[in-house]
Chains A and B, each alone.
Chain A
Amino acid sequence: MDSLAIFGFGDVGWGWQFVAGLSVTLQVALLALPLGLSVGLAIALTSQSGNRLVRGFASGYTTVFRGTPEILTLFAIYHGGSQLVSTIGRELGFTTGFVLPGVLAGALALGLVFSAYAAEVWRGAIAAVGDGQKEAALSLGLRSHTAFRLVVLPQAFRIAVPGLGNLWLILLKDTALVSIIAVADFMRQVNLAVQSTREPFALYLFACLVYVVLTLISVKALRRLEHRAAIPAGR
């Protein structure tokens, strides 16, 4: 039972590193979430614009981010951002190299990917609310802006919850990708533990199971949220 000690919090245990890693994992996910939700909503609205050029931008945006592997987006933003920042630094006269913080690059990349998928969910939800709601609100004298914010959006959110919930589950797993750009998330801590203990099978199995548990917890919470958000029967 010696090998079990590596999961603990003792001298040879990696428990604390795993806990620290999990908090970084959640940080990345929770930073990416609001970014993805809001940009996704903006893209969804853009895709309904009367202007063809604006509409084209929205569809290009979703095509690009949904057609590119997440890891490629992540590399492009991490390395691109770092080069950009160090170029600016050089122009300003700093000589030391600068690297974009991995957590930020990771959250940005995953948030953008999330937003492309979220845009589709938002668009469907807004369409499902129907024009009647908006028209009724406008005829009551609400401004178009206010009508959307107070009448259409809350109803659209109810419809969007299951779809957005699925995206959250995907996001949670995708955070493991940031381990590749040296962010000390849970996955990376497990990699480090493997290097020092040479117990890859048990540790990676443990890692998978931890993510499964995170997923199950999320599913449970989401089901609650869905239940609350659902339109009451027999309205």
Chain B
Amino acid sequence: MRPFRPGDEDNAMNPEIVLDNAARLLEGVQVSLALVGCSLLIAALIAVPLAVLLRSPNGVLRTMANGYSAFFRGSPLIAQLFLIYYGSGQFRPALESIGVWWFFRDAFLCAVLTFSLNSAAYTAELLRGAIDAVPKGQWEAARALGLSRMHLFFKIILPQAFRTALPAYGNEVILLVKASALALVVTVYDLMGTVRLIYSRTFDLSIFFWAAIVYIVFVEVLRILFRTIETRAFRWHVA
């Protein structure tokens, strides 16, 4: 894991810097993937109940859900990262006493938590819109068939809402990939963090170029993946 290298100039777009630091960069990519994967999973788990709360007939629940959504969608992710990672440090004794300090001490886990909470807010909003867009007749028909409320929601409404929300969800996933680069501000060495480290040792600008390519490829692969899912997995859906 030694080489950072270049000190001399005029090494325009030199792939050597990538090869020299391949092991380090690969580790960074793994951290980025883990960051995105974990956050997406947790965000999806929070988003469904949150979308339900956003549509709740109960005013108190709805206001709370709306407040959550406004907070996480209205403030910069970087401020939220600082709040959770550095802010939790202030409550160390309390967090230690309930045995969760190990979690908040870890920058990676704090980043996952922040990204999850943030992405859940966006995902819930677009899921809310998609649920609203399911035609009324679907609710009525399901009720007329005597389905329970659980069945009605999970078997009839949600699958259709997922289909409607899919393109927008694809965008949200892509935004999360890009946002994950922010983890470097709380000292997580993901791809972006590693790239900045390499730059700070070599002053070789081309590392930014290579990193951009990795992110762009990642994003394009996701875009194609989601388009494929749209056309393949939801063939039953008549638009």
Identify the A interface with B (CB < 8 A). Answer: 63-64, 66-73, 75-76, 79-80, 83, 173-177, 179-180, 187, 190-191, 194, 198-201, 204-205, 207-209, 211-212, 215-216
Q: Is B219 an interface residue (CB 8 A)?
A: yes
| A69 lies within 8 A of B179 (CB) | yes
How close is A175's CB to chain B, nearest CB, in angstroms? 8
| B86 lies within 8 A of A194 (CB) | yes
Q: Is B71 an interface residue (CB 8 A)?
A: yes
How close is A87's CB to chain B, nearest CB, in angstroms? 8
Of the stretches B52-60, B77-85, B147-155, the one at the interface is B77-85
* Given A72-B192, A180-B185, A194-B86: A216 and B74 interface contact (C-beta under 8 Å): yes
Chain B residues in 8 Å Cβ range of A176 = 76, 78-79
Q: Is B90 an interface residue (CB 8 A)?
A: yes
Number of cross-chain contacts by CB at 8 Å = 122
| B76 lies within 8 A of A187 (CB) | yes
Give the interface size class of chain B: 35 or more
Give the distance in Å from the alpha carbon of A80 to the alpha carbon of B195 in the complex.
14
Q: Is B231 an interface residue (CB 8 A)?
A: no
* Given A201-B91, A211-B74, A216-B74: A64 and B79 interface contact (C-beta under 8 Å): no
| A208 lies within 8 A of B86 (CB) | no
Partner of B74, one of A68, A179, A198, A215: A215
The 10 A-B residue pairs whose C-beta atoms are closest, nearest first, are A69-B181, A67-B216, A201-B87, A212-B74, A176-B76, A204-B83, A208-B75, A215-B74, A67-B219, A200-B86
| B195 lies within 8 A of A72 (CB) | yes
Partner of A68, one of B77, B199, B215: B215
Give the distance in Å from the alpha carbon of A12 to the alpha carbon of B199 in the complex.
38
How close is B143's CB to chain A, nearest CB, in angstroms? 35
Q: Look across to chain B and name the residue whose beta carbon is closest to the beta carbon of A207.
A: B79
How close is A65's CB to chain B, nearest CB, in angstroms? 10
Q: Look across to chain B and name the residue whose beta carbon is closest to the beta carbon of A208.
A: B75
Partner of B212, one of A72, A180, A212, A216: A72
How close is B66's CB to chain A, nearest CB, in angstroms? 12
| B216 lies within 8 A of A179 (CB) | no
| B76 lies within 8 A of A201 (CB) | no
Q: Is B182 an interface residue (CB 8 A)?
A: yes
| B192 lies within 8 A of A69 (CB) | yes
| B83 lies within 8 A of A205 (CB) | yes
| A83 lies within 8 A of B205 (CB) | yes
Q: Look across to chain A and name the residue whose beta carbon is closest to the beta carbon of B67.
A: A212
